[in-house]
Amino acid sequence: MHSFLKNNVFSISFGTSLSKLAGCLRQVFIAAAFGVGITYDAFNYAYIIPGFLLIIIGGINGPLHNAVVAVLTPLNKKNGGILLTQVSIKLSILLFGLAILIYCNSSLLIELLAPNLSSEAKTIATYQLRILTPCIPLSGFIGLSFGALNSRRKFFLSSISPAITSVTIIFFILFSWTFNQENTTKNLFTSSGLLAFATLTGTLIQFVVQIWEINKIGLLRLESTFQSFNFQTFKYEQRRILKLIIPASISSGLSQINVFIDMFFASSFQGAASGLAYGNFLIQAPLGILSNSLILPLLPKFSKLRSQENTRGIQKKLISGIEYCFLTTIFLTGFFITFNNQIVELVFQRGAFDDLATLKVKNILIAYAVGIPFYLYRDLLVRTYYSIEKTKFPFKLSFAGIIFNVFFDWFLIGAPIKNFGNLSPYNFGVVGIILSSVIVNFLVCIFLSFNLRNEDIHLPNLDLFGKITLMLLASFIDSKICFTILKTTNNLNSNLGEVLLLIFGSLTFFVIYFLLTKFLKVNKFKIPQKRSS
């Protein structure tokens, strides 16, 4: 059993790491090919709806994936295959109808999502959305097959499968690059459909690979399904899948609504959608690692303590989790603010990604970095509520957060009103849209923290505030020291020099922050000591 678990963990970790690496390389190639130009800007709007469905319905660990794992695992191969095939057919028909509806109204949808885009960008986005619509019915089977594969302990393919689209996009860009060198009369990078066609091709390949694997393990039962002509054979199991999918999809969808809102307001600024995509990409990788390493281990402990009605134990674990959450995220905030220039230049600045694009993404990265502590703290609190089975308050607060986000997005870009101009003196441009999310997450964190008292969990707010202040002080001093070092080494222009500078700077920043937080007694991390013999 121990060996089985180790093999599964290795398969998942290895496959996920390869997918993340492929995703990173994809963004590097996109940046070199398109920069923050109109084509990639338009693609980000065209991908909103297909991307939403691919994440919510077709994503690994999405609602559909989790529901299928729960229902399919106890069934034998034959019954599991028939149920999977029945649900796949029904869901595909539903999503196919939705895809036709989106295709026929693509221009209207782009107008609603991005009313302030230029007419050229809207035309490109509409064209790209039409290309991407086949991804919608494909997303249904992709999500189902993720769950089916995992229910039969096929973890590696599920983990590596998302990399297929990333690799396909890279291949399309490389092919375009080669073609451009041989044919100077036409530049395929200006082809408005390149990214959309690459994404569709990658999704289609992913679909074919997964349907082949599902058939290989005996879970594709078209013949058995149509022979019976009875799609109600597993009516109870189908209802179970729907019962699990619907609330989880609504909850996941609420967070995506804020993405739609941000993109709606971002359409007022040229290159904003591209800049947001690049900046968010840089932030999400370390945030995902922190979320998995700090928060996930706490959840089973909370659930166990809840079953034992040990409120004091939950409170103690949560306080410790909050301290580690802010200790690590404040470090990340200081690191991204200090080394924003080196990070953006090293990862993205080549090809079409010029100095102007670097400046834009640097400012966006700094704004995202400011919000890192509140983003992870909110994640910790929401998961705490769910682990103690108190879901109503965070669910209601999600709706309130959407309203807050609309107001602050509007206010921080100048509170524009058609024919009346800006009502607010504060117009921070695209940075204001990110700061809006920071403010909303901050407010949500406050409400979630104080409401814990109603669940008999009392946080020492003043004590925590004092510790967080000292962590901020340590990060500020650390940043000032590292900024001074960077000024003395600003003559390194080579890529190798930039890499070495970033590695040396990262180590220096970490060591200084660790020592300062230890000195200020707000760091509980311990270095293992070797036992003397």
Q: What pLDDT digit, counting tens, does each position of 67-80 carry?
A: 666 666 666 667 76
Question: Of 291, 335, 370, nearest to 474 (Cα)?
Answer: 335
Could you tell me if 135 and 201 are in contact, meaning their C-beta atoms sit under 8 angstroms apart? no
**Three-class secondary structure of residue 186 per DSSP:** coil
**Tokens describing residue 102:** 């989106």
Please tell me the number of Cα atoms within 13 Å of 482 on its side-chain side.
Answer: 27
pLDDT at position 1, please?
A: 39
Question: Of 381, 382, 349, 383, nearest to 365 (Cα)?
Answer: 349
106: confidence class by pLDDT, cuts 50, 70, 90: very high
Could you tell me how many residues make up the chain? 533
Q: Which residues pair with 416 in a beta bridge?
A: 422
The proportion of the chain whose per-residue pLDDT surpasses 90, expressed as a percent, equals 33
pLDDT tens-digit series, residues 339-362:
998 899 888 988 888 888 899 999
pLDDT at position 130, please?
A: 95
- Surface-to-core class of residue 533, CB atoms within 10 Å of its CB (0-12 exposed, 13-18 middle, 19+ buried): exposed
pLDDT at position 132, please?
A: 94
Question: Of 137, 140, 161, 156, nearest to 209 (Cα)?
Answer: 161
End-to-end, the C-alpha distance of the chain in Å comes to: 34
Q: How far apart are CA 492 and CA 500, in angstroms?
A: 10
- Mean pLDDT, residues 452-458: 86
Please tell me the number of Cα atoms within 13 Å of 418 on its side-chain side.
Answer: 3
**Tokens describing residue 25:** 């390389």
The model's pTM:
0.81
Q: Which of 140-144, 289-293, 321-325 has the highest mean pLDDT?
A: 321-325
Phi, psi of 422 (to 5 degrees): -90, 135
pLDDT at position 257, please?
A: 80
Annotate 303-362 with DSSP letters as a single string: HHHHHTT-HHHHHHHHHHHHHHHHHHHHHHHHHHHHTHHHHHHHHH-STT--HHHHHHHH
Phi-psi region of 37 (alpha: psi -120 to 50; beta: other; left: phi over 0): beta
Q: How far apart are CA 377 and CA 181, in angstroms?
A: 49
pLDDT at position 228, please?
A: 47
Q: Indicate if the pLDDT at residue 312 is higher than 70.
A: yes
Task: Tell me 269's DSSP state.
Answer: S
Residue with tokens 């690590």: 328
Could you tell me if 366 and 405 are in contact, meaning their C-beta atoms sit under 8 angstroms apart? no
Q: Indicate if the pLDDT at residue 128 is higher than 70.
A: yes
Question: Of 454, 62, 480, 526, nearest to 256 (Cα)?
Answer: 62
Instruction: Give the type of residue at 384.
Output: T
pLDDT at position 394, please?
A: 83
pLDDT at position 337, please?
A: 94
Largest CA distance in the chain: 80
Q: How far apart are CA 532 and CA 264, in angstroms?
A: 62
Task: Tell me 188's DSSP state.
Answer: G
Q: Which residue has the higher pLDDT, 334 or 152?
A: 334
82: confidence class by pLDDT, cuts 50, 70, 90: confident
pLDDT tens-digit series, residues 31-70:
998 988 899 999 999 998 888 877 776 565 555 655 666 6
Could you tell me if 144 and 88 are in contact, meaning their C-beta atoms sit under 8 angstroms apart? yes
pLDDT at position 313, please?
A: 84
Question: Of 257, 201, 193, 203, nearest to 46 (Cα)?
Answer: 193
Annotate 214-241 with DSSP letters as a single string: HHHTT---HHHHHHHT-TTTTHHHHHHH
pLDDT tens-digit series, residues 204-235:
998 888 888 877 776 665 554 444 444 455 56
pLDDT tens-digit series, residues 465-507:
999 999 999 999 999 999 888 777 666 566 677 788 888 888 9
pLDDT tens-digit series, residues 431-450:
999 999 999 999 999 999 99
pLDDT tens-digit series, residues 155-174:
677 777 788 999 999 999 99
Could you tell me if 532 and 373 are in contact, meaning their C-beta atoms sit under 8 angstroms apart? no
pLDDT tens-digit series, residues 404-421:
999 999 999 988 887 777
Q: Indicate if the pLDDT at residue 297 is higher than 90.
A: no
